[in-house]
Amino acid sequence: MTLDLVIQQLVNGLIVGSFYALIALGYSMVFGVIKLLNFAHGDIYMSGAFVGLIAFSFVGVWVGNGWAGVVCALLVSMLAVGLLGVVIERFAYRPMRNAPRLSILITALGASMVLNGTALALTGGRHFAFNTDLGFAGLDVSAVHITYTQIVLVAASILLMAGMQAFVSRTMYGKAMRAVSIDMGASRLMGIDVDRVIALTFFMGSALAAGGGVMAGAYYGSVHFFMGFIMGLKAFTAAVIGGIGSVPGAMLGGLLLGLLEAYGSSLPFVGSEWRDVFVFGALILFLVFKPTGLLGRSVVERV
């Protein structure tokens, strides 16, 4: 592997990794609070990309297809899809909160399929172009050209994640979230409005996923109804690598997974068609040898 390739894959890995990290963070937050793997998370990411594209095509007329348009689309999508997350929680997950574990999981799967099926029915399965006008200006490191867009995307996702970490660790609502994740019943007795905290968690997790969706859509220039499926799987893998339930763990796991994928698929004897096998191989190895992940706490409790 030449130095150029190493740098190129570092850039690729960091970008993909920061998308993974954003999605994994939402996964982890929801899991932390209600101990549920939100299967719909990947599809929320996909919905975010579509809502972003719709918003972009409207605001683009006024503010242009450059950064202003993308940022507007990002904000609109995060807000709308955050609310979508709240709605899903209210109508699909809340009625099941005391149901057997298996029923909750199947319900979550059903919610995921409804989002995916709706997107398929509305789009007819077509790919939609996300034509942005972000330019190719950038820095040259050795022979590798790194665009400003790439730098901004990585910086923006790090900023979003840092904001989330600050919210969870500094604010009153963040404290309530942590309390609910430790003991829901006791939190209720202490006067915390548990339903509201859970709704807020879904809002924030879904908004992050939507942010990731818009950024990925704008970066790759294309949006598709099936994009959430594999992303959901990979974000889960990232969350497990970092330690599920841990905010810094999700970021670390996402970036590591992105790098693993980038370097793994550029090895001479494995092509990019084996990239996903690499990821799931990593997931299974982690579950065997370090199920708590790199930064997670013990997961001995069983439900």
Spatial separation of the C-alpha atoms in residues 149 and 154, rounded to whole Å = 9
C-beta closer to another protein: residue 83 or 233: 233
| Residue closer to another protein (CB basis): 57 or 123 | 123
CB-wise, 148 or 274, nearer to another protein? 274
- The distance of closest approach from Cβ of residue 255 to another protein in the complex, given in angstroms and rounded to an integer, is 20
Which stretches within 90-246 are classed as H helix? 101-123, 148-170, 172-182, 184-189, 194-220, 227-242
Nearer to another protein, 43 or 82 (CB): 43
What does the alpha-carbon distance between residue 46 and residue 131 come to, in Å, rounded to a whole number?
17
Q: How far is the CB of 106 from another protein (least distance, A)?
A: 5
CB of 284 to another protein, least distance (A): 6
When the beta carbons of 95 and 135 are compared against another protein, the nearer one is 95
Q: Which is nearer to another protein, 97 or 175 (CB)?
A: 97
CA atoms within 13 A on the CB side of 287: 10
Which residues contact another protein (rule: CB under 8 A)?
Answer: 36-37, 39, 92, 95-96, 99-103, 105-107, 109-111, 113-114, 116-118, 120-121, 124-125, 229-230, 233, 236-237, 240, 273-274, 276-277, 279-280, 283-284, 287-288, 291, 299, 302-303
Residue 264 bridge partners (DSSP): none
Q: How would you classify the pairing of strands 128-129 and 138-141?
A: unpaired
Least distance to another protein, CB of residue 16, Å: 18
Cα-Cα-Cα-Cα dihedral of 265, 281, 16, 165, to 10°? -150
Based on CB atoms, which residue is closest to another protein, 104 or 153?
A: 104
CB of 1 to another protein, least distance (A): 23
Please give the DSSP secondary-structure letter assigned to residue 134.
Answer: -
CB of 45 to another protein, least distance (A): 15
Q: Determine the Cα–Cα distance for residues 137 and 148; give it in Å rounded to an integer.
A: 6
CB of 299 to another protein, least distance (A): 7
Residue 56 structure tokens:
């972009």
Quote the CA–CA distance of 215 and 132 in Å, as a whole number.
Answer: 11
Tokens coding 203: 């809002």
Whole-angstrom distance, CA of residue 148 vs CA of residue 299: 41
- Least distance in angstroms from the C-beta of 178 to another protein: 20
How far from 16 is each of 27, 46, 295, CA to CA, in Å?
Answer: 17, 15, 21
Q: Looking at beta carbons only, is 37 or 214 nearer to another protein?
A: 37
Task: Give residues with Cβ within 8 angstroms of 241, minimum separation 6.
Answer: 249, 252, 253, 256, 257, 282, 283, 286, 293, 294
